[in-house]
Amino acid sequence: MSTHDQRIESELFELLGTVLPGNARELTRDTLLADAGIGSLSLVETVFVIEEKFDIKIPYNANDWQGASFNTVGDVFDLVVRLIVEKSTDQASSSA
C-alpha cells in the first residue's frame, strides 16, 4: 500500500469513527459495515460525509458500480481510492 493510500485509509478510519456508534479503534478492513452499526440510514449519512471529505461522488448503487462491493470497511476504502484515482486521472487528462 502506498503512502498516499495509507493516508487515505487513516483519514477514512478517523472519519468512520466520527459517524459510527461504538469504538472506532476496533475497526479493521474486514469489519462488516453491518457489524460496525451502519444500517441503511447511517450508510447514507456516512456516504455524504465521505463524499464531502474526499471531494468525490459515490455512485447511488455502489454495489453495482464496476464490480465494486460495499460490505466491509475495506470495501469502502477500496472504492474511495478508486474514485480518487479516477478523479485525478480525469483532471489530468482534461488539463492536457
| Run of H or E including 77 | helix 73-94
Asked whether 73 and 16 are in contact (CB, 8 A), the reply is: yes
pTM: 0.75
68 pLDDT band, cuts 50/70/90, is: low
Domain 3-94 has CATH 3.40.50.300: no
6 pLDDT band, cuts 50/70/90, is: confident
Contacts of 70 (CB under 8 A, 6+ apart): 33, 62, 63, 76, 79
Q: State yes or no: pLDDT of 17 exceeds 80.
A: no
Q: Where are the domains of the chain?
A: 3-94
